[in-house]
Structure 1
C-alpha cells in the first residue's frame, strides 16, 4: 500500500513520523495480526457457545473455553496497545497515535474488560445460562458489542484507503475475515432464529405439516429463521460490494467461517446444511465476478442482492432434499422461501444504495 495522506508509521520498513494532525494508517501485516488474534478469541467464544449448548452440568465461570476466550482477548488487546506504543515512539501523541480505523477498538478494549469482570460477577451471583437467556445477558451483550468493534478494525482500515477499489484476495483477507467473524457473532446472538443450525431432516420435517392447521409450530420457526439468517448473511456481502470489488473467494470464506460457528453450536449434527452454505458461497462468488455490483452499478447491485439470497436458500433446500431423499410436503413453503429471501435481499440492496453515486 502506498503512502498517502496518512503515513504508515507502524510498519518497520517505513519508520516515518506522521505530520501533526495526521493519523497513521496501519499496514497490511498489522491488520493481519489484528484479525488473526481476533480469530483466537472468536474461537474461544465459539467453544463457549458449544459448551453452553451441549454441557448441561456447566456450573462454573472457570472453564477451558473461557480460558481460550479471555486469553485471546488479552493477546488482541496487548497487540493493539503495542501498535499504539510503536506510534508513540515515532513521536505521535494522544489521538494521533491511534491508526485510522483503530479508534473504536481502543475504546472497546476497556469496555470488554469491564464486561468480562461483570460476566464473572453475574455468573457467580446469578448463575450460568444454558438456554436462550444466554443471548440476552447484559454482560454478554456488552462483550459481543465490544468484540464487533475490535474485530471490524481491519475492515475500517481498508475502507478508509480510497485508493483501494479492487483488492487482491491477499490484500482483502483481513477485511473479509473481519466481516466473516462479525457475521458469525451476530448470528450467534440471533441463535433463536438461526436457520444454519437446522439439520436436513429438521428442514424437511418443519415444512411438512398439515395445511390449515392453526399452530404452524416448527414451520414458523424455520421461516422466521430463514429471513433473519438471510439478512445477516447477505448484508456483509452487500456492504463489501458497495465499497470494493471483492475478489473471488470472499463469499466462500465468509460462509466457511460462519459455518464453523454453526456446526459447533449444533454439535456437528448439521454438516450437510453447512456444506450447502459453502456451496452457495462459491456460487455467490461467481455472481460477484460476473455482475461486478457496486454503488456505481445500481442495477447489478440490486440483482446481486436478490440473486445471492435466492441462491443461498435454493441450495439450502436442495441440500436437504438430496440428503433426505424426499421433499417437504408443503410445496409452497420450500419453493417460496427462496423467493421471499430474494425480495429481502433486493430491499436491503435498495436501502444500502438507493441511487447511483455521481
Structure 2
C-alpha cells in the first residue's frame, strides 16, 4: 500500500508549519487544457517551419497562439498561488503540491522567449534541423516539459482512486509532453514517414543508408511512445484511454508537420494505440504484476511496429524486398520494449537468508 506523505512548509509569520495545499481535479483539468493551448501553438509553429519556407520574422500568427497559451497558463498558475495566499497561507505553503517546479519553469520560459526573439533578430529564422538545436529553443523545450507535466506531479501523491475521471489531466499532460519532446526529436520520428518511403527504405538493403535511418527512427519513436505508458503503469496501472490520450497529441503533431501526407502511417499508429488499450485491459500491467508489466512492454511495441510495416506495405501494394528487415524490425522493437520494462521495473531482490 502506498504511503501518503504530506508536504509541509514553514509559515514565516507564526513559525508554524502549514500543509501544502493540493490542487483540485478541476484545477488540474484547467492546467491541462491551458497546456493544450500552449502545445497547440507549438504544433502550429512546427507546421509553419515544415511547410512555409522563407520565414523572415519572429512575429507570426502561430507564435501568437504559442505565447498567448503560455501567458494564459502562467496567469492561471499564479492565480492558484494567490488564491491560497488569500486563505492565509504564506511562502511555499501557498503553492499547490506539484506546482512548485512549474513556477520556476514559467520564469525560464519567459526568459527563453525573450532570448528567442533576440536570437531571431540577430541570426535570422532557422529553416532546417538547426531549429531543433537553438539554445533559446532548448530553453523553451525544457521549461515547457515541466509546465505540461504539472498535472502528473499533482496527481502523483494523490491517494484518490486511479480512475480515468481523476487521471485524465495527468494522461493528457503526459501526451502533450510526448508530442513536445518529439518536436525536438523530429529527426527520429518514424510517424513522419509516408508508406512509399517506408517500403522503399526496407527494400534497399542499406546501400544508401535509408534502411538504417528508418530503423533508428523506429527505435526512437518506439521508446518515446512506450516509456510514458510504462511510467504510468508503474504508478497507477493504465486506466481506459491511457494509450489513446498519450498517443493522440503526437499523431496530430506528425500530421501537421507533413501536411497530412502520411495518413496511412498515422492510421496504423492510431489503430495500434487501440490494440495497446486492449493489451492493457487483458494484462493489467502494474508494479505489483511484474511479469504482466514486462510482457506488456514487449507485446505493445511488437504489435505497433508490425502494424506500422503491414499498413505501409498494404498502402504501396507490396512488401519490402529485404525480408530480414521487415520481419526482424518488430522483434527488435519488442526486445527494446522488454528491456525498457525491465529497467523501469527490475526484478525484486532475492531475500537474504538468515
Report TM bin, short chain: over 0.9
Report the Cα distance in structure 2 between the residues aligned to 1:64 and 1:356, rounded to whole angstroms: 53
* Residue 56 of structure 1, CA deviation: 0.7
**Alpha-carbon contact 1:310-1:339 (below 8 Å) kept:** yes
Partner of 1:124: 121
List, as ranges, runs of 4+ consecutive aligned residues in structure 1 with deviation greater than 3 Å.
4-7
- 1:157-172 equivalences under 5 Å are 157-161=154-158, 163-164=159-160, 167-172=162-167
* Residue 252 of structure 1, CA deviation: 1.7
Q: Secondary structure at the match of 1:21?
A: strand
- Could you tell me the TM-score, scaled by structure 1's length? 0.92
Superposed CA deviations along residues 80-102 of structure 1, whole A, max 9, x for unmatched, are 00000000001111111111111
Partner of 2:336: 344
Partner of 1:14: none
Partner of 1:205: 200
Report the Cα distance in structure 2 between the residues aligned to 1:275 and 1:249, rounded to whole angstroms: 17
Matched, 1:194 2:189: yes
- 1:1-358 equivalences under 5 Å are 20-161=17-158, 163-164=159-160, 167-209=162-204, 211=205, 215-356=207-348
Superposed CA deviations along residues 188-242 of structure 1, whole A, max 9, x for unmatched, are 1111111000011111111111x4x6x4421111000000110001000000000
**Alpha-carbon contact 1:6-1:24 (below 8 Å) kept:** no
Superposed CA deviations along residues 309-356 of structure 1, whole A, max 9, x for unmatched, are 111101101111121111111111111111101111111111111134
Gaps of 5+ in 1: 8-18
* Residue 253 of structure 1, CA deviation: 2.2
Q: Secondary structure at the match of 1:311?
A: helix
Superposed CA deviations along residues 164-185 of structure 1, whole A, max 9, x for unmatched, are 45x2222121010011010111
Alignment RMSD (CA, Å): 1.6
Gaps of 5+ in 2: 8-15
Superposed CA deviations along residues 4-62 of structure 1, whole A, max 9, x for unmatched, are 8759xxxxxxxxxxx83310000100000001000001000000011111111211000
- How many residue pairs are counted as aligned between the two chains? 339
